[in-house]
Amino acid sequence: MFDDRLAQSAQILCVGKEWFPEVAGGLNRYVYELTQQLATTQNKVELCIAGRDDSPPDSCVKLTRLAGPHDTIIRRLLRSKQAFSHRVLQTPDAINLHFALYSFPLLGQLPQDVPVTFTFHGPWAEESQREGQHSLGTQVKAWMEQQVYQRCDRFIVLSQAFGKILHETYGIPWEKIHVIPGGVNIQRFQPNLSRHDARKQLGFPTDRQILFSPRRLVNRMGLDKLLTAMVQIKQQVPDIWLAIAGKGPLQSALEQQANELELTEHVKFLGYVPDEQLPIAYQAADLTVVPSQSLEGFGLILVESLACGTPALCTPVGGMPEVVSGLHPRLVTASTDADAIASRIVEWLGGELPLPERSSCRDYACRSFDWGKIAPLVQHVLLS
C-alpha cells in the first residue's frame, strides 16, 4: 500500500547514466528533471551516475560518482561497485534504476527489503545492434539487462509501446509494469518569445517556413528520410528551411546527402545546440519534426516543442503517437518512409491543414506532461 507519510519525507536512491546538462540525451534529461522534482518536496534524493562527482550549487540532489564515463567497461563495473558502497543513502525507502550498465554491478548491494523499480528507457542491446555493434557486445548487454530486470520488483515505462517491448522481449509480466509518460519543465520550455524574435536571436531566416529537428545523428533517427522528403516538400513549399540540431557519426554522410539532393539552400546543420537555446529554437520553428525509424519510447522532443507552443510531427514509431495524437491525430505520419513524411508536412505547411495554435499546443503539454503532475505519479510507484 502507498504510505502518505512516507511519500512526504522519503529517501529515494536513483541510479542513472550521466549528469545532464553536461551530457545531453533523453535518458539523462529525464533522470535530471525527475530527481529535481522529487527533491523539491521533503524527500532526500541521491543520484548515482558516471562522471560528475559533486552536486552543483543550485541542485538539491546529492550526486555520487560511480565511475568515469570514458573508463573501459570492466573498470566502470568495478569502480561502480566500489563507489556504491560509500553512497549517502545506505538505507533508502525506494530505489529507482534507469540504466542496466551501472545497475548491474550494484545488484548484490541493493537492500533486500527496499522496493526496486526499473525505469525502462529502451532495449539497450537491440539499440546497439541496430547501430551496427558487434554481436558479442549486444549479447553481453542483453544478458546484463536480464540480470538487472530479474532483481527488480516493478517497472515504469513511458509508453504502452515500450511496455509491450518489456513484456514480449524480456518476459516481464504486465502486472509489474506501470505506464507513466515523461514530463516537461513547463517553466523552462514556454512560449515567451514571438517567432520573429526567436529567429532573430538565433540568426534564422525571418521570411521562410521553418522545420526544426533536434536529433542525434545516428541511423534510427531517420534524418536521411527527412532529407529525401525535403526534395518533395520544397516543390510544394518553395521557401521551406530545415534546421537540424545535433551531433553524431552520420554527420558527414548526411551533409553529403543534402549536397547531392541540392538542398544546401534549404537545410542547415546546426551542430550541437546549447540547452539554453533549445526553447528558443522550438519557438523559431513553424513545425518540429521527429522522423524516427525505430525504438522511440516516448519522444521528449515532442513535449518540449509543444510546451513552447510549436506543433510537433512524428512518425508512427514506438510511443510517439501516444504523445501527439491527443492534440491532433494527423500529427503522426502514415508510415516512416520519406513519401509519407513529405506528404504530411506539405499538408500542414501547404495550407491544407491549419497548424494547431500556439495556445492549444501549450495547454495540451501543460495538461498532459507537466513534471509537477508526472513526478508524483512516479513517486507513488517507487514507494508503493
What's the pLDDT tens digit per position in 36-50?
999 987 799 999 999
Which pTM was predicted?
Answer: 0.92
Distances (CA, A) of 14 to 17, 94, 97, 120: 10, 9, 6, 13
Better pLDDT: 38 or 54: 38
- The three-state secondary structure class of 240 is coil
Element spanning 26, H or E: helix 26-39
**What is the structure's pLDDT at 6?**
43
Q: CA 348 to CA 195: how far, in whole Å?
A: 17
Q: Which has the closest alpha carbon to 317: 335, 341, 344? A: 335
Q: CA 367 to CA 319: how far, in whole Å?
A: 18
Mean pLDDT of all residues belonging to the chain: 94
- Of the chain, the percentage scoring pLDDT greater than 90 comes to 84
Q: Which three cell numbers stand for residue 333?
A: 505520419
Model confidence at 56: pLDDT above 80: no
Model confidence at 212: pLDDT above 80: yes
Model confidence at 288: pLDDT above 80: yes
Q: Which three cell numbers stand for residue 300?
A: 521528449
Domain boundaries along the sequence of the chain: 4-185+370-383, 195-368
Q: Which three cell numbers stand for residue 328?
A: 491532433
pLDDT, mean of residues 300-320: 97
Name the least confident of 50-54, 213-217, 284-288.
Answer: 50-54
Q: CA 179 to CA 364: how far, in whole Å?
A: 19
Q: CA 253 to CA 288: how far, in whole Å?
A: 22
| Structure confidence by residue, pLDDT tens digits, 157-184 | 999 999 999 999 999 999 999 999 999 9
Distances (CA, A) of 182 to 191, 307, 374: 20, 13, 7
Q: CA 64 to CA 61: how far, in whole Å?
A: 10
Model confidence at 7: pLDDT above 90: no
Under CATH, which number does the domain 195-368 receive? 3.40.50.2000
pLDDT, mean of residues 275-294: 97
Quickly state the pLDDT bin for 2 (edges 50, 70, 90): very low
pLDDT, mean of residues 256-264: 98
For residue 305, how many other CB atoms are within 10 A of its CB?
Answer: 31
Best mean pLDDT range from 56-65, 135-144, 178-187:
178-187
Please determine whether the domains at 4-185+370-383 and 195-368 fall in the same fold group of CATH: yes
Quickly state the pLDDT bin for 247 (edges 50, 70, 90): very high
For residue 192, give the DSSP letter. Answer: -
**What is the structure's pLDDT at 8?**
63
| Structure confidence by residue, pLDDT tens digits, 326-350 | 999 999 999 999 999 999 999 999 9
β-bridge mates for residue 119, sequence order: 156
Question: How would CATH label the architecture of 4-185+370-383?
Answer: 3-Layer(aba) Sandwich (3.40)
The answer to whether 349 and 286 have CB atoms below 8 angstroms apart is yes
| Strands 11-18 and 44-50, sheet pairing | parallel
- The three-state secondary structure class of 184 is strand
CA angle 298, 43, 67 (to 5 degrees): 65
Cα 177 from chain centre: 19
**What is the structure's pLDDT at 52?**
76
Quickly state the pLDDT bin for 59 (edges 50, 70, 90): confident
Quickly state the pLDDT bin for 17 (edges 50, 70, 90): very high
**What is the structure's pLDDT at 23?**
86
Model confidence at 4: pLDDT above 70: no
The answer to whether 371 and 38 have CB atoms below 8 angstroms apart is no
Strand runs labelled E in 93-230: 94-97, 116-120, 154-157, 177-179, 210-214
